Structure 1
Amino acid sequence: MPSDNELYDYSPITERAPFSWPGDARVAFYVGLNIEHFRLGTPSTSLNEATAALVPDPLNHGWREYGVRVGIWRVMQALDRHGVRASALLNSAVCEHYPQIIEAGLARDWAWLAHGRDNSTLQAGMAEDDERAYLTDVVETIEKATGRRPRGWLGPALTETFRTPALLAELGLEYVLDWTNDDQPYPLNVPGMLSVPYSVELNDLGLFTMHGMTGPDFVQLVKDQVDQLYADSAVSGRVLALALHPFVIGQPFRTKYLEQALDYVTNHPGVWSATSDEIVEHYLRINSHRRPTT
């Protein structure tokens, strides 16, 4: 059906062919772990807007930087305890500034998705040649550092241009997470490109910093999400994406609530704990006519 967005067609979830995940699982679960670098002196995600325009801004920059110095190591331990391999949403600048994180992720066999150069640079409004060069640098930097070419993309602040998916396809990527409008993967109107579910709702950054929710609130939301998706999946498979930021969920007083949420999901009947790459691989396997072409 036609849509006012030429990137994809309108497709009601009730009118699609049913499918299931490996082992007849009904819900595919992945953790989108945002691993980000923020440039010093550039306003960005802030806890306190009163100082956000100052240079330097120790309050907000320090809050963000806590994630790569401390929070991510705490989150890693929680994921390890529950057998969850992260889908790392990686700023390419992380490869230069925090190589120990790359080493730790490689040891855990994480999936690596491109997440822009840093979270202070948005490519919206870039000219086509500039964006192509920018994306090429991001992808090749991550490939060099991890030994794996990214298959997926999440834009910093979920930003794109209308050309981004096609430019990413040129670079061999297969999916984007930016269009958070579905509970299943679906093909874009770009050869070889899928949209895969991500979440701005089930996302620690928004829940804790914008909506003021507590740890117990977070656990209940995760439980409600998986319970409803499991009920929906009696008809066809669904995807549960949990978006995490180490400078938010990695705070000490939130750790036990992340543990409780992971415990509930990973022990829930019919849930397949996977990476976003594995979700795409299975979806393409059962929809072989949609496999990317060169």
Structure 2
Amino acid sequence: MNGPTRDFLGYADAAPFADWPEGARIAVNFCINYEEGGELSVLEGDAHSETRISDVAVPPVDGGRDLNIESSYEYGSRVGYWRLLRAFTDRGLNATVNLVGRAGEVNPRALSAMMDAGFDLHPHGWRWIDYAKLSRAEEAAMIAKSITQVRDLTGAAPLGYYAGMPSMNTRALVREAGFLYSSDVNNDDLPYWSPDHPGLLLVPYALDTNDSRFGRDGGGYVLGEEFFIYLRDTFDQLYAEGGDRPKMITVGLHARLLGRPGRIGALHRILDHMMKQDHVWIARRDDIARHWQQRHPDPRT
């Protein structure tokens, strides 16, 4: 079977000393998933409506539209992004935009504001779809469109890529496209080099420290306080471990979920909690990848 090699060992009991800037015990990256407008929709040529990661838990409408789930997504693009953005800009902090290409096309205004705030753009597929259902050539074409989009917006090609729902071909295609890193792994607390593709860094994402759990029917968060407590406990544990072995944490955010007024307070509280500690590096994802490349280069390249 094609696809990435499984690695059950990782760093084991010999994790490298991350050597984050200014002696930080932990690197923290916040990823704002810019998906609204890139989800499944018959208006985009899909066979059915979206069903995933929103406050509306519904089966798909085959061949038609679901106006409730459409409106749930539009809340994020119309309102939620601005709440998330202000939480960072009021504190002088940066974050990363997990950019679904089509979402950036239909809603350029919030994206422009995030770029103006200094956020980096991290392609998250051209559409927010399952890439295992595409041919290799179709997926490669979408990756190329994302690269062109980011280059047009910023003047430079993106460093990293995150499909979210990758295929067996995704990692190889990312390497072939010239990316420094991929984020389609959830299996470590530190970056590491791909065992299959020399020179391709894998920067772990996370699905537990992720507000998508608000959209998991019957198995996720209900209150913003629950999200805050889980993030706080995760941060505190990794910060403690970081005394001799610094770690990293990724926090995934969605404007249609955490951008709601009853939940946004969790983001304010966790940012304030992190900022009260010494030796914390709240960083863009591309800066973490550059640091790792410089301080821990792949010995095979």
Pick from 283, 289, 292: which aligns with 2:292? Answer: 283
> Which position in structure 1 is the counterpart of 2:159?
151
Question: Is 1:21 equivalent to 2:20 in the alignment?
Answer: yes
2:274–2:280 Cα contact (<8 Å) kept: yes
> Which position in structure 1 is the counterpart of 2:193?
187
> Which position in structure 2 is the counterpart of 1:10?
9
State the alpha-carbon separation in 2 of the partners of residues 129 and 52 from structure 1: 27
Pick from 118, 122, 143: which aligns with 2:127? Answer: 118
State the alpha-carbon separation in 1 of the partners of residues 81 and 176 from structure 2: 32
1:113–1:152 Cα contact (<8 Å) kept: yes
Deviation at 1:5, TM superposition (A): 4.9
Pick from 256, 260, 271: which aligns with 2:265? Answer: 256
1:183–1:240 Cα contact (<8 Å) kept: yes
Deviation at 1:226, TM superposition (A): 0.8
> Residues 136-285 of structure 1: matches in 2 within 5 Å?
136-155=144-163, 158-188=164-194, 189-207=196-214, 209-210=216-217, 211-285=220-294
State the alpha-carbon separation in 2 of the partners of residues 99 and 285 from structure 1: 33
Task: Name the stretch that deviates more: 122-131 or 175-184.
Answer: 122-131
Structure 1: gaps spanning 5 or more residues: none
Query: Considering only aligned residues, what root-mean-square deviation do their CA atoms show, in Å?
Result: 2.1
Task: Name the stretch that deviates more: 207-216 or 252-261.
Answer: 207-216
Structure 2: gaps spanning 5 or more residues: 43-48
Deviation at 1:198, TM superposition (A): 1.3
Look up the SS of the partner of 2:190 in the other structure.
coil
- Structure 2 letter corresponding to 1:93: R
> Structure 1 vs Structure 2: percent identity of aligned residues?
27
Deviation at 1:9, TM superposition (A): 6.8
Q: Give the TM-score normalised by the residue count of structure 1.
A: 0.90
1:7–1:190 Cα contact (<8 Å) kept: no
Q: Call closer, same or farther: CA 1:9–1:143 in 2, change over 3 Å.
A: farther
Deviation at 1:141, TM superposition (A): 2.0
Q: Deviations over 1:94-139 (max 9, x none)?
A: 23211112321221111111101121x3211432222222211222
Q: Call closer, same or farther: CA 1:70–1:170 in 2, change over 3 Å.
A: same
State the alpha-carbon separation in 2 of the partners of residues 186 and 64 from structure 1: 34
1:28–1:238 Cα contact (<8 Å) kept: yes
Q: Call closer, same or farther: CA 1:208–1:48 in 2, change over 3 Å.
A: closer
State the alpha-carbon separation in 1 of the partners of residues 299 and 252 from structure 2: 27
Q: Give the TM-score normalised by the residue count of structure 2.
A: 0.88
State the alpha-carbon separation in 2 of the partners of residues 78 and 196 from structure 1: 24
Deviation at 1:178, TM superposition (A): 1.5
2:51–2:59 Cα contact (<8 Å) kept: no
State the alpha-carbon separation in 2 of the partners of residues 256 and 19 from structure 1: 31
1:25–1:270 Cα contact (<8 Å) kept: yes
Deviation at 1:91, TM superposition (A): 0.6
Task: Name the stretch that deviates more: 205-214 or 217-226.
Answer: 205-214
> Residues 34-45 of structure 1: matches in 2 within 5 Å?
34-36=33-35, 37=37, 38-41=39-42, 42-45=49-52
Structure 1 or 2: larger helix share?
Answer: 1
Number of aligned residue pairs: 286
Task: Name the stretch that deviates more: 178-187 or 158-167.
Answer: 158-167
Pick from 109, 118, 142: which aligns with 1:134? Answer: 142
- Structure 1 letter corresponding to 2:173: L
1:123–1:159 Cα contact (<8 Å) kept: yes
